[in-house]
Amino acid sequence: MSEVKAKVNAVSPKSTNTQSTNQARPFSYQGRSLACSGVSLESLAQKFGTPLYVYSGDQILERRNLFAREFAGVDHTVCYAVKANSSLAILKLLAQSGTGFDIVSGGELERVLRVSKDAAKRVVFSGVGKQAAEMDLALKAGILMFNVESEAELELLAERAAKLKKKARIALRVNPDVFAETHPYISTGLREHKFGIDIRIARKVYRRAAKKQWLEPAGVSVHIGSQIRSTEPFGSALARVVDLVKQLRTDGLNIRYVDAGGGLGPGRFFVAQAGTLLSRVLYTKVNGTKTFVITDAAMNDLIRPALYQAHHEILPVKQSMSKKTIVADIVGPVCESGDFFARDRELPAVKSGDLVALLDAGAYGMSLASNYNTRSRVAEVLVRNGKTKRIRRRETVDEMLTQEVL
């Protein structure tokens, strides 16, 4: 399938964990103080306060370029999944490097267009619930491809494209009924999942699409889940896609794109390990046999441990001379038992006022943040080439309440 273009969502075909690439991690100790690409996290906390998201722009571009090199022998477009981290500054960084974008809403498209209107031609629109206004925005912007997820969506897209007299290049997202061993919330490749069109009826749907004047069937899309740690499910899914492409070409369709999806573990390839959530310890306490470390960050800032039981390494920003460790639950101030970052975690002994860094928080951290408990969303900082830039200011309570009416 060398002549078929592949669109891939931040997935390395040869690496199955973030350590195997032999790339330097962006957060490391300089002396006894943790730094981001050479910039002291302690100094950032003093300047911008906590909780605080800190990202290494150098690491993001390094991972992007590493990924692109892995596919150097294939005609491809690497599309970053905007939902992972939709910061305008990070999107701009990637757009300037020629990266494409995988979006799942009109709002995400607006973000991409805000940083680069030229990037529209590298945008793939995924998602199961596209609305007419979102389709119109994407058609007018001239995006690369719509990944169509249902027959009803296909009909609506044909209607909107005809009304605007804009050709819509499409791929059907086929559901290959392939099981991927991952968390059930991020598994997407079985028939009981809401995603995609049953691959067994895809050929019929393509024939119907080919009869629509303003639709151009040009690709096949598949995505079976995230944080998948084996290549076997991908092989099984793409083998079925190859068979389908052959059938569609036999039918006379010019299928020249394969969207290979994403999710090879641990995923979030560009931004996950490029980010940390910096937090300050408020209190420590002991309840019976349990020790708790209470931080100023909470589940509204980083929900992944509560939602997916995700593991984030937690490090003290200042290393102590003492070798003493504790076993504790690291928790936040939100009024929920699910407000935790770690359970029974062994870590160096910390006390009130100490700074801790929750690593690998660059993906699905800030993008999933909320105002639960009327907590302000935190500030974000980007470090690149030894220079620091605040890319989001800390939200105020007045800004939170501005949309409400008495």
With contact defined as beta carbons under 8 Å apart, do 364 and 302 qualify?
no
Fold classification of 272-400 (topology level): Lyase, Ornithine Decarboxylase; Chain A, domain 1 (2.40.37)
**Per-residue model confidence (pLDDT) at position 72:** 87
Residue 262 near residue 100, CB atoms below 8 Å: no
pLDDT over 70 (residue 5): no
pLDDT of 176 = 83
CA-based nearest residue to 38, from 398, 310, 386: 386
Instruction: With cut-offs at 50, 70 and 90, classify the pLDDT of residue 67.
Output: confident
Active site residues per annotation: 335
| 4 or 86, which is more confident | 86
As a whole number, mean pLDDT of residues 246-269 equals: 86
pTM: 0.90
- Unique residue bearing structure tokens 């150097």: 72
pLDDT of residue 265: 54
Domain spanning 75-262, CATH architecture: Alpha-Beta Barrel (3.20)
Could you tell me if 34 and 317 are in contact, meaning their C-beta atoms sit under 8 angstroms apart? yes
**CA neighbours within 13 Å on the CB side: how many for 12?**
22
Which regions of the chain carry the CATH code 3.20.20.10?
A: 75-262
Confidence grade of residue 14 (pLDDT, cut at 50, 70, 90): very low
Share of the chain above pLDDT 90, in %: 76
| Cβ–Cβ under 8 Å, residues 224 and 237 | yes
Contact 318, 280 (CB under 8 A): no
144-197 pLDDT per residue, tens: 999 999 999 999 999 999 999 999 999 999 988 775 554 444 444 344 555 689
Model pLDDT, residue 183: 40
DSSP secondary structure letters along 365-401? SGGG---GGGPPPPEEEEEETTEEEEEEPPPPHHHHH
170: closest CA among 134, 126, 201? 126
pLDDT value at residue 225: 73
CATH 2.40.37.10 residue ranges in the chain? Answer: 272-400
The pLDDT assigned to 304 comes to 95
Per-residue pLDDT, averaged over 96-108, amounts to 96
Which residues, at least 6 apart from 122, have a Cβ–Cβ distance to it below 8 Å?
77, 79, 98, 99, 100, 101, 144
Report the alpha-carbon distance of residue 343 to residue 263 in Å, rounded: 26
